[in-house]
Amino acid sequence: MNILFVCTGNTCRSPMAQGILEDMAKEKGLGIVVKSAGVYALDGSNASVNAIRALREDNIDISNHRASIVHRDLIEEADLILTMGKSHKDILVSKYGFAQDKIHILNEFIYGIEKDIIDPFGGSIQVYNNTKYELYNAMEELLKKLMRGEF
């Protein structure tokens, strides 16, 4: 299973989701390949300082993360593409229509609701922690769904 998370700049939400899911999958011995990218990412940018700090509190290290803009190869390789918000999904579907059946808003895929994951960009560590908790809950539900074969 190859999962791609997509947000805006690939410095906050999607690398946090990637780090959390990789950690959870490793704990459960699941062979899931997880990648992340941004629709407007500046290739090579670091993850935001507070994203790194928030996950470091849980012994998840994303300090080596480098941002990547979404490109066709990532879309083609992914079995499942989960966006942090509706605008990201809309951009991907308009640019990569051939993959529209595997592009979903994360909260819509997990909970059936069209709700964006809070963007912590520029916020305090508490804002990042709120996003982290939101992502932890979503990743737990995502793993349950995948383990039940619901994808």
Q: Which residues are catalytic?
A: 7, 13, 119
- What DSSP element (H or E) covers 105? strand 103-105
Distance, in Å, from the CA atom of 58 to the CA atom of 25, rounded to the nearest integer, reads 15
Q: How many other C-beta atoms lie within 10 A of the C-beta of residue 113? A: 8
**What is the C-alpha end-to-end distance of the chain, expressed in Å?**
10
Asked if residues 127 and 118 have their Cβ atoms less than 8 Å apart, the reply is yes
Distance, in Å, from the CA atom of 70 to the CA atom of 30, rounded to the nearest integer, reads 25
Distance, in Å, from the CA atom of 62 to the CA atom of 47, rounded to the nearest integer, reads 7
Asked if residues 24 and 139 have their Cβ atoms less than 8 Å apart, the reply is yes
- Please name the residue that has the structure tokens 């941004």: 38
